Amino acid sequence: MDAPPREWFDTDYYRVLGVSESASQKEITKAYRALARELHPDANPGDVAAEDRFKEVSSAYDVVGDADKRARYDEVRRLGPMAGAFGGGGGFGPGGGFPGGVSFDASDLSDLFGGLFTRGRPGGPQRSSTGPRRGSDVEADLTMSFVDAAHGATTTVNVTSEVRCPDCFGSGAAVGTSPRTCPDCRGTGSVVEDQGPFSFSRPCTSCGGRGRIIDTPCTTCGGIGAVRRPRQVKVRIPEGVKDGQRIRVKGRGGAGANGGPDGDLYVRVHVDAHSRFGRDGDNLTVTVPVSFAQAALGAEVPVPTLDGGSVTIRIPAGTQSGRTFRIRGRGMTTSKGTGDLMATVELSVPTDLTDAERSAIEALADATQPAPAAASGGEAEDA
Ligand SMILES: [Zn+2]
Ligand SMILES: [Zn+2]
């Protein structure tokens, strides 16, 4: 016989389903169906607490919803941890056994027997609704200008999430009262039960494993200690943030429960396009118009920089339209360093010519060989 899964010692599946230990299979199925409908993730999108409860309820029904498994579960719980491992004999082989009254915790036993009780465990760690639970992660969107994204900014984002209840400060007890220590487990959340020569611990049913009892629940949060509220979170966006990048703000997500840590906030940054500059990795791109004369003869050309200034580059004689020049260290600065500014020259063709310009260009045309396309009689075509 396989060792029973460790959850069987830790979890009261009847309590999870809200039925008594003597409930019929039919009553168990009915209770499970009602809970599953209520807690199904489709009915509670994004609700982590409901999702956890849904998983618990499913695991519980997986065991006590099956008559054979349920019988074994009941036996294990009646006889203690040794029931499954040693065929229900309750002892260590012939004449064995620990002296009466020695107390074992199920987790201690699993260490003692090298993971005997973790065999056959259903996949993945299971989170209990009673233990400390980490708050949910929360996402927020933030739109920034191209220049703000380049420089980084400290700003506020609007977030709606679970926060510690402002009236009971998370205790769940009504204003002016406080939770009292559970007398049955003396605040530990688990009780040790004697089962013949062995004893083992299981969650305290009086306090639901919390170790505290709230006599008068806080009316604001209904005793949960957390409420869903819109709030503003100040976030520091680092310089050089990219469009679509997610910035993690540790501990600013949903409030944790039962002493668990708070979740994280993820800010998804949307960066507006710039009228002049583009971005390619850590490089900035910019288009610089040049005249035919500048391109043909070579010239010093000013290139705008993102900070509003400019740098001058020298383009050589005979520069073709579309050629790109690299200006080192004038790109986007990020935590990894600073990229380059990539300036692409674009031949600018005048549309309104003065008489003097017209005659100069006509003189140029007379003095110039025809362009290759014209010489071969080809049609001009836009790209
Ligand atoms: Zn409250
Ligand atoms: Zn208790």
DSSP string computed for 130-164? SS-BPPPPEEEEEEE-HHHHHH-EEEEEEEEEEEE
- Compute the distance from residue 162 Cα to the ligand 1 centre, in Å: 12
- 168-215: pLDDT as tens digits: 888 888 988 888 999 988 888 888 877 777 777 788 888 888 888 889
51-56: average pLDDT: 81
C-alpha to C-alpha distance for 129 and 314, rounded to whole angstroms: 69
Q: Which three-class secondary structure state does DSSP give residue 365?
A: helix
- Compute the distance from residue 191 Cα to the ligand 2 centre, in Å: 7
- Compute the distance from residue 344 Cα to the ligand 2 centre, in Å: 73
**DSSP per residue, 11-78:** --HHHHHT--TT--HHHHHHHHHHHHHHH-TTTSTT-HHHHHHHHHHHHHHHHHTSHHHHHHHHHHHH
- State the architecture of 7-118 in CATH terms: Orthogonal Bundle (1.10)
- Phi, psi (deg, nearest 5) at residue 74: -60, -40
- Compute the distance from residue 180 Cα to the ligand 2 centre, in Å: 10
Helices 67-79 and 48-64: crossing angle in degrees, nearest 10, is 90
* Per-residue pLDDT at 165 exceeds 90: no
Which has the minimum average pLDDT: 77-91, 127-141, 180-194, 330-344? 77-91
C-beta of residue 213 within 8 angstroms of C-beta of residue 118: no
Q: List, in sequence order, every residue forming a beta bridge with 237; answer none if it has no partner.
A: 153
**pLDDT interval class at 98 (50, 70, 90):** very low
Q: Is the pTM of this model over 0.95?
A: no
Q: Which residue has the tokens 């998804």?
A: 268
Nearest ligand to residue 186 Cα? 2
* Per-residue pLDDT at 258 exceeds 80: no
C-beta of residue 122 within 8 angstroms of C-beta of residue 58: no
- Compute the distance from residue 231 Cα to the ligand 1 centre, in Å: 17
Can you give the residue ranges of every domain in the chain? Answer: 7-118, 277-375
- Compute the distance from residue 193 Cα to the ligand 2 centre, in Å: 13
**pLDDT interval class at 221 (50, 70, 90):** confident
C-alpha to C-alpha distance for 64 and 305, rounded to whole angstroms: 70
C-alpha to C-alpha distance for 341 and 6, rounded to whole angstroms: 61
Nearest ligand to residue 183 Cα? 2
- Compute the distance from residue 15 Cα to the ligand 2 centre, in Å: 14
Do 7-118 and 277-375 have matching folds?
no
pLDDT of residue 115: 32
Q: Which CATH number fits domain 277-375: 3.40.50.880, 2.60.260.20, 3.40.50.300, 3.30.70.360?
A: 2.60.260.20
**pLDDT interval class at 377 (50, 70, 90):** low
**pLDDT interval class at 229 (50, 70, 90):** confident
- Compute the distance from residue 288 Cα to the ligand 2 centre, in Å: 75
Q: Which three-class secondary structure state does DSSP give residue 352?
A: coil
Neighbours of 208 (CB within 10 A): 16
- Compute the distance from residue 70 Cα to the ligand 2 centre, in Å: 25
